[in-house]
Amino acid sequence: MYNKNVKFGSDYYMMSNNIVSIILGVKYKDGIILATDSQASDKIAGVKKLGEKKIFSFNIDNSNFIYSGAENPNINQRIIDEIRGVYNSKIDFIKQCEDAYNKVKNMYPQQVNEGKLPINILIGIENNGLELIQIPPDGIVLKTKEIKAIGCRWEWVELIYSEILSYRNYDRVFNNKEEALRIILYTIDKIKRYDLYCGGKSQYIILHDNGEIEETDEKLVEKLEDDISKINNEFRERWWSKLGEEE
């Protein structure tokens, strides 16, 4: 799925105003999931490119990482590269992230606006336990809650999550991968239906508590999104039918 009111064109990594519509991070009982759409967009130029990989993984010093970033991908990646270059499992990871942020900030003063860099990164780390870490534009690194959204539509995610959790009587702490993944993909699908700068196939990556990394199962994504479309179509049919009866 993608929105057709934005032009195709340009190279995602060469744009000056890159944005990512939405990135979701969820901690569940046995792992961490990061998920997003695959449409790269430039809001000012009005162009997009489908099929972009936005979630990545790496291993250093017997620790596994998954990460994804919103805003400027080049600056995001530079911070990740700095973390990879100095990572030490014996040193507090948050401090290492803050040091990397400050180093990049000093290297690229032209990218700083009101004391902030145009970045926002979610990192899942497995090192004697799982942690979901955010590096926000102001560089004040923090451990996140069970559910975290970054990107230009994070407010929508909060609304969708709240509706799902209250309607289905879910706890914010998910017990298994299937439950968490279904809700994540449902949320992204809902946003893709209304946001011009969010589209393409959904993608995800999972960091399990045993250190294993699981990439996107495209068939599973297609099946879940087909199920979501059927539910939405049935809801619309019932709604219009009921409206006609009331008239």
209 located within any domain: yes
Dig out the tokens for 39 from the structure: 């449409």
41-96, pLDDT tens digit by residue?
Answer: 666 666 667 788 899 999 998 899 999 998 888 999 999 999 999 999 999 999 99
166-202, pLDDT tens digit by residue?
Answer: 655 555 667 888 888 888 888 888 888 888 778 888 9
Tell me whether strands 142-143 and 130-135 are parallel, antiparallel or unpaired.
antiparallel
Q: Do 161 and 48 sit in the same domain of this protein?
A: yes
Q: Do 128 and 223 sit in the same domain of this protein?
A: no
Domains contained in the chain, number: 2
Q: Do 168 and 241 sit in the same domain of this protein?
A: no
1 located within any domain: no
91 located within any domain: yes
Query: Per-residue pLDDT averaged across 124-136, rounded?
Result: 91
Model pLDDT, residue 244:
53
Q: Do 105 and 39 sit in the same domain of this protein?
A: yes
157 located within any domain: yes
Tell me whether strands 23-28 and 130-135 are parallel, antiparallel or unpaired.
unpaired
Q: Do 247 and 144 sit in the same domain of this protein?
A: no
Model pLDDT, residue 2:
47
Query: Per-residue pLDDT averaged across 132-158, rounded?
Result: 89
Domain holding 194: CATH number? 3.60.20.10
Model pLDDT, residue 44:
62
> Residues near 133 by Cβ (< 8 Å), separated by ≥ 6?
93, 94, 97, 122, 123, 124, 125, 141, 142, 143, 144
Q: Is the pLDDT of residue 15 over 50?
A: no
Model pLDDT, residue 14:
36
224 located within any domain: yes
Q: Is the pLDDT of residue 26 over 60?
A: yes
2 located within any domain: no
- Full domain range(s) for residue 223: 217-247
Q: Do 226 and 152 sit in the same domain of this protein?
A: no
Model pLDDT, residue 189:
86
- Going from the C-alpha of 103 to that of each of 60, 90, 192, the distances in angstroms are 20, 20, 35
Q: Is the pLDDT of residue 6 over 50?
A: no
| Calpha distance 101→88 (Å, rounded) | 16
Q: Is the pLDDT of residue 241 over 50?
A: yes
| Calpha distance 145→167 (Å, rounded) | 21
How much is the pTM?
0.82
Secondary structure (DSSP) of 166-202: HHTT--SSB-SHHHHHHHHHHHHHHHHTT-TT--S--
Q: Do 179 and 113 sit in the same domain of this protein?
A: yes
Q: Is the pLDDT of residue 243 over 70?
A: no
Computed on alpha carbons and rounded to an integer, the radius of gyration of the chain in Å comes to 19
Alpha-helical (H) ranges within the chain are 73-86, 93-107, 154-167, 177-192, 218-246
Model pLDDT, residue 222:
86
167 located within any domain: yes
Q: 131 or 174, which is more confident?
A: 131
Q: Do 183 and 239 sit in the same domain of this protein?
A: no
| Calpha distance 217→79 (Å, rounded) | 28
Q: Do 207 and 226 sit in the same domain of this protein?
A: no
Q: Do 93 and 46 sit in the same domain of this protein?
A: yes
13 located within any domain: yes
Query: Per-residue pLDDT averaged across 141-152, rounded?
Result: 87
227-236, pLDDT tens digit by residue?
Answer: 777 766 666 5
Q: Do 95 and 136 sit in the same domain of this protein?
A: yes
Q: Do 168 and 246 sit in the same domain of this protein?
A: no
Q: 4 or 133, which is more confident?
A: 133
